[in-house]
């Protein structure tokens, strides 16, 4: 039987392995496009542009998510038990107590966001407060606090920057192919022209395929961070059955969420669109922001402290 620590370490390694693949992909795409145009500044521009725009989103992540979900602050007087659970978890993991928000939705769900632990917020839906008992709620909140402690917003921002670089490079290349004339072999010898043509074909292939590959890697990183938050959350509560029981209830629920948004879907405890689709094979799993909930439950039940 695997331990919580082996689950946690495994998912950390897999996350960094995927990010390494990302960096290799960007370097390859950037080198090919720079070779075609003879201008290394293309890669530098794409990296700077994607980094700046993503950092702005990262810095204001809590405000953006609050605006898109309509979350409202939860006064301690209204939900003292919720505040008590979060405060105890914050003390256990050595983090500041995050701000608590309520999303008025019957779908049971929760998320955490914020650029760092000092600016973190945890939001729960009204549906999750009605459905879960204390141990289940504690498991859910420990999972969300683990996202804060694991700096998942920072990891997510790094991944978004990498995806943005690839998409921007691909878009620039395809637009230039459409609107500009590239140098032909009139200026060069036949051999040089053939080499240029080969690089052009490689560039077209990269421009078409690399954004798709980048998306798959981004989704894979998101799924690994969910597994990591499950394992880290159990380390806080020392009770895997609490989160497993909560996930079992989520698996049986098909309540829609009107606040669901594709830009923030990866933040939630469970995919807010999950009730609208059924995963039937491994291929469809590749396009999910979250691991199959049945697999998460299975892993939790197999964990030993």
> Can you give the pLDDT of all 305 residues of the chain as single tens digits?
455 556 567 767 777 787 788 778 777 877 777 777 777 777 787 778 777 877 787 788 888 888 889 999 999 999 999 999 999 999 998 999 999 999 999 999 999 998 888 999 999 999 999 999 999 999 999 999 999 988 888 788 778 777 877 887 788 777 776 655 544 444 544 555 676 677 677 778 878 888 888 888 889 989 999 999 999 999 999 999 999 999 999 999 989 898 888 878 888 999 998 655 555 577 888 889 899 999 999 999 988 76
Query: Considering the domain boundaries, does residue 189 fall inside one?
Result: yes
Query: Considering the domain boundaries, does residue 230 fall inside one?
Result: no
Provide the annotated binding site for Zn(2+): 143, 147, 226
Cα dihedral 47→265→286→226 (10° resolution): 90
Query: Considering the domain boundaries, does residue 15 fall inside one?
Result: yes
Residue 122, φ and ψ in degrees, nearest 5: -120, 130
Two structure tokens written together for 187: 């200026």
76, 138, 144, 294: the active-site residue? 144
Provide the annotated binding site: 143, 147, 226
222 exposure class (CB count in 10 Å sphere: 0-12, 13-18, 19+): buried
pTM: 0.81
Supply the range of the domain harboring residue 167.
4-61+158-221
Query: Considering the domain boundaries, does residue 170 fall inside one?
Result: yes
Query: Considering the domain boundaries, does residue 120 fall inside one?
Result: no
Into how many domains does the chain fold? Answer: 1
Interatomic CA distance for residues 146 and 109, integer angstroms: 16
Query: Considering the domain boundaries, does residue 175 fall inside one?
Result: yes
Give the rounded distance of the alpha carbon of 11 from its chain centre: 14
Query: Considering the domain boundaries, does residue 8 fall inside one?
Result: yes
Two structure tokens written together for 122: 């945890």
121: left (phi over 0), alpha (psi -120 to 50) or beta: beta
Are the C-beta atoms of 121 and 129 separated by less than 8 Å? no
Query: Considering the domain boundaries, does residue 254 fall inside one?
Result: no
302 as an active site residue: the answer is no
User: What's the confidence (pLDDT) of residue 4?
Assistant: 52
Residue 212, φ and ψ in degrees, nearest 5: -65, -45
User: What is the DSSP code (8-state) at residue 277?
Assistant: -
């Amino acid at each position: 039987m695997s331990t919580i620590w082996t689950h946690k370490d495994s998912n950390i390694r897999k996350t960094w392995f995927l990010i390494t693949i990302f960096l290799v992909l960007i370097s390859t795409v950037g080198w090919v496009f720079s070779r075609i145009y003879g201008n290394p500044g293309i890669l530098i521009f794409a990296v700077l542009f994607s980094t700046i725009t993503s950092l702005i989103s990262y810095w204001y992540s809590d405000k953006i998510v609050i605006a898109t979900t309509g979350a409202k602050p939860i006064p301690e007087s209204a939900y003292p038990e919720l505040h008590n659970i979060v405060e105890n978890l914050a003390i256990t993991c050595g983090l500041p107590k995050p701000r608590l928000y309520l999303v008025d939705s019957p779908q049971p769900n929760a998320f955490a966001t914020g650029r760092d632990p000092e600016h973190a917020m945890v939001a729960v839906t009204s549906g999750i407060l009605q459905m879960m008992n204390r141990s289940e709620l504690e498991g859910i909140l420990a999972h969300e606090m683990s996202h804060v402690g694991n700096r998942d917003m920072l990891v997510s921002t790094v991944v978004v920057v990498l995806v943005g670089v690839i998409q921007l490079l691909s878009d620039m290349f395809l637009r230039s192919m459409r609107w500009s004339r590239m140098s032909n072999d009139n200026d060069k010898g036949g051999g040089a022209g053939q080499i240029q043509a080969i690089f052009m074909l490689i560039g077209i292939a990269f421009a078409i395929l690399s954004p798709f590959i980048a998306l798959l890697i981004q989704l894979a990183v998101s799924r690994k961070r969910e597994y990591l938050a499950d394992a880290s959350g159990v380390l806080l509560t020392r009770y895997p059955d609490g989160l497993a029981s909560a996930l079992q209830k989520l698996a049986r629920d098909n309540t829609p969420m009107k606040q669901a948004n594709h830009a923030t879907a990866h933040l939630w405890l469970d995919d807010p669109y999950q009730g609208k689709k059924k995963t039937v094979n491994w291929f469809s799993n590749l396009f999910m922001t979250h691991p199959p909930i049945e697999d998460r439950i299975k892993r939790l039940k197999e964990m030993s402290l």
